[in-house]
Chain A
């Protein structure tokens, strides 16, 4: 199948202390490549601060990539002509934020908030616009009367549905869900996740689903990618990733999941410090904390390579 999202060796650096004479560079994302097919959900998990949101934001054009190539629906949004290509596909992209409190303007009625993408695209008369708002509210399971209320009158879960309704307004093909359900309780989380999956089935949506809750990721994703300190360390189908994790970091991650009534076996906590992103260490970025690290891990960067089927890993010790 043709991928609708494709990243090839994408990197992103931010300048720290812009005022000073010698600004330092923070390597937030380094050489990341992956793709997402139509109607697929790629789960993206990993260390806090490892660059997941930065990738999500690059995919919708909030941040330009520092290097590498990003194509959306077959159009290159990096490089020359990137701006025009991004403008051409903008309608097909959307983003759902983590914090439903910050994602809605407190002074805008819910109806206007939902209709914002429609208003920006323009060309709807009042009555159609209103009908569309009503449909969107139906779709996310909120009463139509919500349109005239303000965000503070809704609970966190309801607000997240409003944010999702806004994201659906222009019938996008690809949505980045940046911890879209993290702020929700389990029951609401389940409702929103089910909603996202129903919408996927109905409209053929694709998602990049960024989250920390590995159980939720398991239930929504087709494939799962794992990041550590700006690099992609493993990517596999969900079954392979959860049942046969290969990278030591993925294993540590799965091992650290807190469980009701304690862990099945005593847990190995990760020791050591996460690496600096300002002057990243040579070799594997996980080496400073990896229980399996060998001398060569500290000098030679492991290649991200296939290890059978669509399972890819970046680790020297995986055969």
Chain B
């Protein structure tokens, strides 16, 4: 005990020290490692894949329509004779990009509104009313609106999806905030004169992070899928641009005869969701001191 006390007195832990320890603990967490591996793999594919795969993902070769996977077409071809493998690789970037941004943006905005309504009781019912209205508003209409305003591009999709996922995220954060705000440690901080901002930052957010992370991994996967539905309606980047979502959307009509069109991007989405999920699990566990896995 005394030895530890001595080190501690001479060498105060800095935030860098803490971050380093956190990183070590993260990498000792098995699901984090696996999730990190999967995510890293996908990011590498999305970033460097297009440099290596020379086949044009939009080139149509009508001679080779609906070819099953073979040596020449690793993932087969679609109804326009486009190489699904190349589309898969090029599409990865767009899909992951959309999933990530939607998770981040709806996470930030949802947390903001959740904390606002959970902590500032005076405006709780107002904010939640707005969130309910948003939840009831058809996302498709929202997307069409944004698309009309900003034009058919990736940003429109990201904004439309982020906005439509805000209410769910906000609800989860609000629920945690409502619980935490009543606990004695928040009272103690208030008695010492803590500002609302400090209470939110030091007490409410750290204790809401678990459910929030779980929610965001879902948002990530849903966003990738939803992008498909939107691209089906002509919202977002126009069709020849590949994304996992629109490969699946286009392949849907041939699900039985040409199963490979949907299968591979489907696996891609599942893998991305799984990776994120494991990553989120690991992060949640490591951030929770009560579940300390190692010393």
Contact = CB atoms under 8 A, between A and B. Distances in A.
Q: Do these two chains really belong together in a complex?
A: yes
Interface of A: 60-62, 87, 90-91, 93-95, 97, 99, 102-109, 113, 116-117, 120-121, 126-127, 130-131, 134, 143-145, 147-148, 150, 152, 163, 166, 170
A103 B188 contact: yes
19 contacts: A62-B191, A94-B191, A95-B188, A99-B184, A102-B183, A105-B185, A106-B207, A106-B288, A116-B192, A120-B192, A120-B193, A120-B198, A127-B12, A130-B9, A134-B5, A143-B2, A144-B9, A145-B4, A150-B290
Given A62-B187, A120-B189, A120-B193, A106 B289 contact: yes
Interface in B162-201: 183-185, 187-195, 198
A147 B187 contact: no
B295 to A, nearest CB: 11
A145 B5 CA distance: 5
Interface string B188-219: 11111111001000110011000000000000
A104 B187 contact: no
B22 to A, nearest CB: 12
Interface string B268-295: 0000000000000000000111101000
Nearest to A105: B185
Contacts of A108: 185, 202-203, 206
B138 interface: no
Given A94-B191, A107-B287, A116-B194, 9 more contacts: A62-B191, A102-B183, A106-B289, A120-B189, A120-B193, A121-B193, A130-B9, A143-B1, A143-B2
A95 B8 contact: no
A55 to B, nearest CB: 15
A39 to B, nearest CB: 22
Interface residues of B, number: 30
Q: Chain B contact residues: over half helix, strand or loop, or mixed?
A: helix
B284 to A, nearest CB: 12
Contacts of A148: 8, 13
B9 A104 contact: no
Given A95-B191, A117-B192, A150-B290, A104 B185 contact: yes
Contacts of B187: 62, 95, 97
Most chain B beta-carbon neighbours within 10 Å: one of A61, A91, A106, A107? A107
Contacts of A105: 185, 202-203, 206-207
A126 B15 CA distance: 11
Q: Give the 3 A-B residue pairs with the shortest CB-CB distance, closest first.
A: A150-B289, A144-B5, A145-B4
Given A130-B12, A150-B289, A103 B184 contact: yes
A144 B9 CA distance: 8
Nearest to B203: A105
B254 to A, nearest CB: 51
Contacts of B2: 143
A100 B185 CA distance: 9
Contacts of B288: 106-107
A106 B290 contact: yes
A103 B287 CA distance: 20
Contact of B289 (A91, A99, A107, A121): A107
Nearest to B6: A144
Contacts of A97: 184, 187-188
Interface in B31-72: none
B118 to A, nearest CB: 16
Contacts of B8: 130, 134, 144-145, 147-148
A167 to B, nearest CB: 8
A46 B225 CA distance: 62
Contact of B207 (A107, A116, A121): A107
Contacts of B198: 120
Contacts of B5: 134, 143-145
A256 to B, nearest CB: 28
B291 to A, nearest CB: 9
B26 to A, nearest CB: 16
Nearest to B5: A144
A93 B133 CA distance: 45
B207 A120 contact: no
A120 B188 contact: no
Contacts of B292: 150
